[in-house]
């Protein structure tokens, strides 16, 4: 549960913070007077009640120098706490705040909606830092969580996800699991020609949610050496799977498998955002058409604003065709990032999808297959030292 601490004596601002939290964010607000800054950090934390704080708001009514001093100490001792400062934004104030570890500077007259957005982002950042610290403290090696995404449907996302999982099995046999998070209309089962006895609905409830060994019993084994956790058979079952279920499930799988490939639903729903909070890599798939490319540009913009872009970014241009009227350079200029992998338009891919046998499972030769193999190579630990300029080398669409 989120906890918010406001150090201020201005009642009007405190009231706006409470309104921003009520009905939109979990947790409550505790207010402390600016005089507490004269004491040490330990004395301040002794006055706090309830769960550990996630967000501390400094001001209004707090002298900037006192705010910077406290922020510097908290950033070193409690890096999982997000700090917000209330002051008139200026170049000098913003620079000093950044150096002190303060996340955002907000004007005293900020309205409720603006405050709510800032608090939501601060909570996301705090949760992400806390998870990273827990993983470091446990010393447990975690697998890579690879989110395969697209803002729009119909761009071949599931085909890319299933082939990626099959390709990763050559690097780590029986250490790859693919999860179908398109909970209403997922096609991973048909794309891999599987008839699963269990689905994700059963995996996130009951004993499987508490024991990773029990969870493995709900996975379906594919002949290529991967595991699959397929979508529910009934679209209505998706109502019983929450973002918290997804978070717990992916954490379980990441402790058991070297690679967790997640085929998400189009768009940025709650399940997709929960996946991105844990993802080490994001594979974004777009087609060679203007709506798909513009959608990807908007997607990057939103995720950058929310600070949910995974550290590993892999952009895939699918259905690439010189006759489309667009070039790779056009796509890169629109989305603002390099295209890492180009998959040319091919007759082989639709045929393999209809058969339920990914192309990387066979030995056929095709330009699309070559593109998919290059994508798989980006996750090969033996090639991690490859310079980025080679990974982003220009590709010519034939």
| Interval 357-380: pLDDT, tens | 999 987 777 888 999 999 999 999
The Cα 227–Cα 393 span in angstroms is 33
Cα–Cα distances in angstroms (integers) from residue 79 to residues 31, 38, 73, 125, 365, in the given order: 21, 21, 9, 10, 51
Listed in sequence order, the residues at least 6 apart from 12 whose beta carbon sits closer than 8 Å to its beta carbon are none
13, part of any domain: yes
pLDDT at 119: 87
Evaluate whether 149 touches 243 at the Cβ level (below 8 Å): no
The answer to whether 168 and 224 have CB atoms below 8 angstroms apart is: no
Q: What tens digit of pLDDT does each residue of 207-238 get?
A: 788 777 778 888 998 988 899 999 988 888 88
Q: Give the CATH number, domain containing residue 102.
A: 3.40.50.2300
- Identify the helix (H) or strand (E) that includes residue 311: none
Q: Summarize pLDDT for 60-101 with one digit per residue, the tens.
A: 889 999 999 988 888 888 888 889 999 998 888 988 888 888
pLDDT at residue 148, as a whole number: 96
256 shares its domain with 378: yes
Residues 104 and 148 in one domain: no
Residue 397 has a pLDDT of 54
Q: Are residues 283 and 318 in the same domain?
A: yes
Residue 248, SS3 per DSSP:
helix
Tokens encoding 298: 């908007």
Residues 244 and 125 in one domain: no
Confidence at residue 132, expressed as pLDDT on a 0 to 100 scale: 57
b vs e for 206-231, b when ≥16 Cβ sit within 10 Å of the residue's Cβ? eebbeeeeebbebbbebebbbbbbbb
Residues forming beta bridges with residue 227, ordered by sequence position: 177, 221
Question: What pTM did the predictor assign?
Answer: 0.63
Q: Per-residue DSSP letters for 132-146?
A: HHHHHHHT----EEE
Domain harbouring 384, CATH code: 3.40.50.300
Write out the DSSP string of 197-230.
S--HHHHTSGGGGT-HHHHHTTSEEETTTEEEEP
Q: Among 75, 103, 138, where does a domain finish?
A: 138
Query: What is the chain's pLDDT, residue by residue, as a tens digit (398 residues)?
Result: 457 899 998 999 999 999 988 877 777 888 898 888 887 777 788 888 766 788 999 988 899 999 999 888 888 888 888 899 999 988 889 888 888 888 889 999 999 988 988 888 787 777 666 655 655 555 557 899 999 999 988 899 999 999 999 999 999 988 999 999 999 889 999 999 998 888 899 888 877 887 777 788 889 989 888 999 999 888 888 888 988 899 999 999 998 899 999 999 999 999 999 999 999 999 999 998 999 999 999 999 999 888 888 989 999 999 888 888 888 899 999 998 999 999 998 888 888 888 889 999 877 778 889 999 999 999 998 876 554 444 444 454 54
Residues 102 and 196 in one domain: no
The total number of structural domains in the chain stands at: 2
Strand spans (E) along the chain: 4-7, 29-32, 55-58, 82-86, 104-106, 144-149, 176-181, 220-222, 226-229, 259-264, 281-286, 312-320, 341-344
Q: Where among 85, 106, 138 does a domain terminate? A: 138
Q: What is the pLDDT of residue 392?
A: 46
| β-pair type (55-58, 82-86) | parallel
Please check whether residues 218 and 354 belong to one and the same domain.
yes
The C-alpha angle with vertex 306 and arms to 302 and 309, in degrees rounded to 5, equals 80
Q: Is residue 11 part of a domain?
A: yes
Query: Do the domain assignments include residue 398?
Result: no
Q: Rounded CA gap, 270 and 1, in Å? A: 17
Q: What is the distance, to the nearest Å, from the Cα of residue 313 to the centroid of all Cα atoms in its chain? A: 11
Same domain, 104 and 149: no
From edge to edge, which strands make up the β-sheet containing 104-106? 29-32, 4-7, 55-58, 82-86, 104-106
What is the sign, positive or negative, of the torsion defined by CA atoms of 256, 257, 258, 262? negative
User: Containing domain of residue 38, as a range?
Assistant: 4-138
């Amino acid at each position: 549960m989120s906890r918010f601490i406001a150090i201020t004596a201005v009642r009007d601002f405190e009231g706006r913070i409470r309104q921003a939290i009520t009905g939109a964010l979990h947790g409550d607000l505790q207010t402390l007077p600016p005089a507490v800054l004269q004491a040490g950090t330990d004395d301040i934390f002794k006055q706090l009640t309830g769960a550990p704080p996630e967000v501390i708001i400094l001001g209004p009514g707090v002298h900037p120098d006192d705010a910077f001093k406290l922020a510097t100490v908290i950033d070193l001792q409690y890096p999982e706490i997000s700090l917000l400062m209330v002051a008139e934004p200026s170049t000098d104030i913003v620079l000093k705040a950044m150096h002190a570890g303060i996340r955002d500077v907000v004007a005293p007259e900020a309205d409720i909606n603006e405050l709510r957005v800032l608090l939501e982002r601060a909570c996301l950042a705090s949760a992400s830092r806390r998870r990273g610290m827990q993983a470091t403290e446990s010393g447990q090696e975690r697998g890579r969580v690879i989110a395969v995404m697209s803002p729009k449907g119909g761009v071949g996302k599931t085909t890319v996800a299933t082939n990626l999982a099959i390709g990763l099995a050559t690097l780590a046999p029986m250490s790859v699991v693919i999860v179908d998070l398109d909970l209403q209309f997922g096609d991973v089962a048909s794309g891999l020609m599987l008839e699963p006895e269990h689905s994700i609905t059963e995996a996130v409830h009951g004993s499987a949610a508490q024991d990773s060994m029990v969870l493995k019993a709900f996975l379906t084994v594919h002949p290529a050496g991967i595991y699959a956790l397929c979508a529910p058979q009934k679209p209505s079952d998706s109502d019983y799977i929450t973002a918290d279920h997804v978070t717990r499930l992916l954490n379980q799988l990441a402790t058991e498998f070297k690679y967790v490939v997640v085929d998400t639903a189009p768009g940025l729903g709650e399940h997709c955002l929960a996946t991105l909070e844990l993802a080490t890599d994001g594979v974004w798939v777009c087609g060679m058409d203007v709506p798909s490319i513009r959608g990807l540009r908007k997607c990057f913009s939103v995720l950058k604003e929310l600070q949910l872009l995974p550290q590993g970014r892999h952009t895939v241009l699918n259905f690439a065709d010189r006759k489309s009227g667009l070039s790779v350079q056009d796509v890169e200029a629109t989305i603002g990032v390099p295209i890492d992998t180009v998959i040319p338009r091919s007759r082989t891919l639709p045929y393999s999808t209809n058969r339920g046998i990914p192309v990387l499972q066979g030995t056929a030769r095709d330009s699309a297959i070559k593109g998919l193999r290059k994508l798989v190579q980006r996750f090969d630990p033996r090639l991690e030292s490859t310079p980025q300029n080679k990974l982003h080398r220009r590709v010519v669409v034939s």
